Amino acid sequence: MTRIAFIGAGSVVFTQGLLADLFSFTDLGELEIALHDIDPERLDTAARAAQYIADQRGAQPQISAHLERRAALDGADFVINIVQVGMNDATRIDFELPAKYGVRQTIGDTLGVGGVFRALRTFPVLKGLAEDIAATCPDAWLLNYTNPMAMNVWYLGALGVRNVVGLCHSVYWTMNDLSHLVGVPYGEVTYLAAGVNHQAWVLRFERAGEDLYPLLDERIAREPELERRVRVDMYRRLGYYPTETSEHSSEYVPWYLSHQSEVERLRLPIGDYLRIVEENVALYEGTRDALKRGEPLAVEGTMEYAPQVIHSIVTGTPRTIYGNVANHGVIPNLPGGSVVEVPCLVDGSGVQPTAVGALPAQCAALNRSYVNVNELVVRAALEDDPLSIRQALLMDPATALPADQLWALCNELVDAHSNYLQPSLRTLL
């Protein structure tokens, strides 16, 4: 029997999609689904939804719900981490306080002020999770979805978690979108992407050996409105298409959000994640209420990687996914030990990263700016060093505040999030 623990299962809509994908496989054998959340209502909703989806898919897993994390992890073969520490209130703080200082954000979950403080709130939970995995299921595969992806996976690796990979759908959906733009069915496209999470690069984009980038160039030339997308603008200037949405991509460079003319030209939705937060709450409440009334749920598969990884490891079926893994020679012109996003072979032996080779110099240079921030945030936690938090944001490409203002902003955020931070990082400087 395969035991799969969902940590943060109260992220009900995401849990539903993963389970719908998982239960679509008919050759996994007996399954145990162990759901954990610290919110009793959300946990109950997740358990009800899991049973509903199983019934709809004709699956017969053993489903259990646990307020205590170790009980969910005990004997797990796979751990899916989807926690969001601080939930909506903390996210609003991550946007509202920086906005007082003129710092613009769109999503705020990967880099910049929002990404840094989301990491710092999450690290204490990850430390407890790592300790619990070591005690209850040391050989389990930890499949992380929680952002900031690269910082979290780096930190988990530093804590000694043996089998950890970060999963993100950005490469998959980017290639679907590019295929549509050039008018070639996705199933006929081959591609290679590599870099860092939310800032990887499409290095090869082909059909039967034919380079499809010229078709993309033709489409952009025919439709000038496409140039009002951040990642099309980045592609034109850097020569390789980035693998994350324009909203995300705008936050990792200094060229866009700091300039009102660029915000207008590229139609950047400042604070857009706050809208998404409200939508997620509404979706959760709709699911909760529908289950209570005995009404049907619309449950669709998501094509997420975690169920595919589980299927490949359990059945030995080989497939390629894009994973976030420690860089041990995988991309030689990015720092060793940093977390990179590359294609990975998954089969009965586990997740095996592909050695991609050196990135184009301009792409690696931009990625290194991203990695610099990651390294300093992870160091802040590992070395109990509050100064490294400020230094991380000094290096952040898009924060761009005078140093005294940046220190003041950090102090406000540390104070606001103090209950979530490890004690050594609560110091005001």
224 DSSP assignment: G
Is the separation of the CB atoms in 356 and 192 below 8 Å?
A: yes
- Give the chain's radius of gyration (CA, Å): 21
The answer to the question of whether 147 is labelled as a binding residue is: yes
Which amino acid would we find at residue 379? R
26 DSSP assignment: S
Structure tokens at 15: 């849990």
Q: How far apart are CA 214 and CA 1, in angstroms?
A: 49
Structure tokens at 47: 């358990």
SS3 (DSSP) at 198: coil
The answer to the question of whether 168 is labelled as a binding residue is: yes
The answer to the question of whether 328 is labelled as a binding residue is: no
CA distances to 60, 182, 241, 266 from 222, in Å: 52, 12, 18, 18
The active-site residue out of 66, 169, 328, 417 is 169
| Segment (H or E) for 173 | helix 170-182
> For the chain, how long is the longest CA-to-CA vector?
60
| Closest-CA residue to 165 (of 330, 24, 396, 370) | 330
187 DSSP assignment: G
Q: Cβ neighbours of residue 322 under 8 Å, at least 6 residues apart?
A: 168, 171, 172, 193, 200, 305, 341, 342, 343, 344
**66 noted as active-site residue:** no
141 DSSP assignment: E
What residues are designated binding site? Answer: 147, 168, 198
Q: Which residues carry a binding-site annotation for Mn(2+)?
A: 168, 198
Catalytic residues: 169
